[in-house]
Amino acid sequence: MTPSGGPADRAAEVIRRRAARVGGWTDITDRAVSRVRAVGVRTWPLDAVFPTDAGPDTLRVSDAVVRTAVLRELIAAGTEVVALELYTEGHRCLGARVTPGDVSSRRTASVAAGALTAILGTAFGACDVDVVAADRPST
């Protein structure tokens, strides 16, 4: 046993102080996470197809996830995207409309269609993606 104020007591006090500081960060982090989760982001579930034959099961993917995946692919291909809309009918995605900020190419529609196919599992072609020029103010 160490007498009061000995090395073990000092070490225990240091550990308590560190735990209190870390606990404070944990509380702040928990509060931040709960506030972020409380913000309502409205999404729409879109029908998707399992990569394997899963029978009668249903798979739905959030439209926000689909838009993010398409945007990432377009950005990776070097396209500056001003706007991206999904064409839907009920829970079925029919295609997309891409407004590039830079000069559009035929490849823009193909990249977007490939991303839609990859995430939703149904075949999309470049004809399912409308690429429209951004409205630029005249100088």
* pLDDT range class, residue 111, cuts 50, 70, 90: very high
Angle subtended by helix axes 63-76 and 106-120, to nearest 10: 140
pLDDT for the residue 27: 62
Condensed to tens digits (0 to 9), the pLDDT of residues 22-80 reads 655 556 666 776 776 677 767 888 988 876 666 667 788 999 999 999 999 999 999 99
Percent of the chain with pLDDT over 70: 76
Condensed to tens digits (0 to 9), the pLDDT of residues 76-103 reads 999 999 999 999 999 999 999 999 987 7
Q: Tell if the pTM clears 0.75, that is, is over it.
A: no
Domain ranges of the chain: 1-40, 45-131
pLDDT for the residue 29: 67
Mean pLDDT of the chain: 82
